[in-house]
Structure 1
Amino acid sequence: MTDAPAPTPSYSYLGPAGTFTEAALKQVPEARGTNWRPVNNVGEALADVVAGRSVAAMIAIENSVDGGVSATQDALATVPGLRIIGEYLVPVNFVLVARRGTALAEVRVVNAHPVAYGQSRGWLERHLPAHGHIPATSNVQAAASLFEEGDRADAAVAPPGIVELLDVDVLARDIGDNPNAVTRFVLVGRSRELPAPTGADKTSVIVELPDDEPGALLAMLEQFSTRGVNLSLIQSRPIGDALGRYRFVIDLEGHVRDERVADALLGLRRFSPNVIFLGSYPRADRREIQYHSKYDDGVFVEARDWLRGILSGEPEG
């Protein structure tokens, strides 16, 4: 009797097919040839990971126009045992599509995901000043809804690849207000294994302030500045248990195995009642981290050796 083949791994992503999240998942070599599970929201994607239905989930965490994605940040703060194992960048632009035969002048109501609507609102107000907006659950669903019975929209804001999925007319291209818009996605799993440092890494943590008092935020930031660690993102989110209580979502440059980063995290842990380590992983842009030589690993190692010698009574020399 032969052993049954191992089940094919699954990856979860915000569906349906054709979303920007799927475009991010296509960048993951390990995901090729696996099962992809389209889900409706971040909570469902992470629930798949926690339950073991998926080995990892691709979720949006930051947009160059709108900033951090609060639903993702809050989920990472409250769902235990998760780790970011990679990040991926997807350029974001939109097209305006409609059912075949619809002219731009006939458009009165537009389906659009709220984020997509916010990023194309300037174009819509210039070209369709009297339009109405119906929110959609995803960029692809905005276009798919045009074919649902009872849908009141005449057009939809959608990703450019929608023409490969639906029989629609493209009324306008490149309608995003910012041509440089990019969304940052992270692949989230449960693996505790840290990837080796590459010199072009990022570390993500979530930190609570110990007290609501003057200087608390400054004291937290000093844990990084005094060790030469640059922050690429810091965003506050309410903890929810009382007014004035916040946690901070932080991305910092470097790997936890870098001495300066490790020392900063130790200081942070002494300072804060709750530090959630989300992972160290290669930067999507592979840009090498630059820092002053006084924060080289050897400087921290030498300082520890000096103190160890003092404590052990070794003669100075």
Structure 2
Amino acid sequence: MEIGILGPEGTFSETAAMLWLKEGGRIENFAIKYYETIFDVSESIVKKEVNYGIVPIENSLEGSVGDTLDVLSSENADEMQIVGEVLVPIRICLLFNGSFPEIKKIVSHHHALAQCKQFIRERLKGVALKSVDSTASAAKLAAQSEQIAALASAESAKMYGVNILAEDVQDKDSITRFVVLSSSGIKAAPTGKDKTSILLSVKERPGALYEVLGEFALRGLNLTKIESRPSKRALGDYMFYIDCEGHLEEAEMQEALKGVEKKAAMLKILGTYPMAIRK
């Protein structure tokens, strides 16, 4: 079994992959492939280079990961589905082989930089900031420079041989949710604690979204996420990404989606899968 994630080694995506493997008893006979972007991970799934791709979709502090939502609304989404999710507690460290006064630049993924605003403002005011593709890439850069510090995990510090100058520098504790993508056509059986993800657009008239959401409320189905994204077809034209508690095979969910299909301009089922339990 091969799994595609954001690289290089030491990213939080790798932590998510290892958690998913352990929780599912899949810890033997696997290989991890590293990719530069979320789009590259999705391409690897469509091209059958990997069996699964694991990508971040939202953080409890910084909100949704736009690149992942864009992938789920792209043409590639027709050839893959969400088959699982993983919750990863995020603990960020300041990595640097020197002292605070020697730091000239801080690099990290833009979500990590945003999660450490207060620390940066209080301890590293005026230091240049640069966004890179992943926290592990940042750690790699810090290992190669006498002036660059990274915001990354303790694991990546060990992996790339960088000192931890400060631990837990995130403004607040946070959790990042990752989704597991596959093109295998595998459908998870109901567990009693499931989630279904959909993408839809509504007709251009007053109350259209209200009517669509009412189909879930009418059947007592709880929505855990709703977010609008530009359709990229025209200004003011949006699609809605929705997560709902329940499995696609359950009668209430089937009835709700039939009602949505009648009222929405477009409906796409992104996946139905076991809900990750926060520990």
Fold agreement, TM-score > 0.5: yes
Supply the distance in 2 between the matched residues of 1:36 and 1:178 (Cα, whole angstroms).
Answer: 30
Partner of 1:191: 184
* 1:252 to partner: Cα distance: 0.1
**Structure 1 residue 152, shift from structure 2 partner:** 8.0
The corresponding residue for 1:141 is 137
Match of 1:163 among 157, 163, 166: 157
Worse overlay, 109-118 or 231-240: 109-118
Alignment of 1:114-133 (within 5 A): 114-133=110-129
Structure 1 residue aligned with 2:91, among 90, 93, 104?
93
The whole-number CA distance in structure 1 between the counterparts of 2:201 and 2:27 is 34
**Cα deviation code 1:165-215 (max 9, x no counterpart):** 022121110000112x0000011001333211111000000011122x211
For structure 1, the 5+ residue unaligned runs are 1-8, 288-317
Q: C-alpha distance in 2, partners of 1:147/1:107?
A: 13
Q: How many angstroms does 1:30 deviate by? A: 3.0
Is the contact made by 2:142 and 2:162 (CA closer than 8 Å) also made in structure 1? no
Q: 1:110–1:156: 8 Å Cα contact kept in structure 2?
A: yes
* Count of residue correspondences: 273
| Greater relative contact order structure (CA < 8 Å, 6+ sep) | 2
Match of 1:109 among 82, 105, 125: 105
The 8 Å contact of residues 83 and 186 in structure 2, kept in 1 or not, is answered as: no
Identity %: 32
Contact 1:108 / 1:128 at 8 angstroms: preserved in 2?
no
What does residue 42 of structure 1 align with?
38
CA separation in 1, counterparts of 2:166 and 2:224?
Answer: 35
1:251 aligns with 2:247: no
* Aligned mates of 1:215, 1:279 — CA distance in 2: 27
SS in 2 for 1:263: helix
Determine if contact 1:200/1:286 at 8 Å carries over to the other structure.
no
SS in 2 for 1:162: helix
Contact 1:109–1:152 (Cα < 8 Å) also in 2: no
Conserved? CA contact 1:26–1:32, under 8 Å? no
Distance 2:146 2:215 in 1: 54
* Maintained 8 Å contact 2:139/2:157: no
The C-alpha deviation readout for 1:74-104, integer Å capped at 9, x for no partner, is 11111222111110000011110112xx111
Go from structure 1 to structure 2 and tell me whether the alpha carbon gap of 1:210 and 1:165 turns closer, same or farther (over 3 Å shift). Answer: same
Name the structure 2 match of 1:24. 16
Equivalent position of 2:59 in the other structure: 63
Q: How far has the Cα of 1:153 moved from its partner?
A: 4.1
2:208 — aligned with what? 216
Displacement, 1:235? Answer: 0.3
- Which runs of structure 2 are paired with 1:219-234 in the superposition (5 Å)? 219-234=211-226
TM-score, scaled to structure 1: 0.83
Can you give the 5+ residue segments of structure 2 that lack an aligned partner in the other structure?
Answer: none
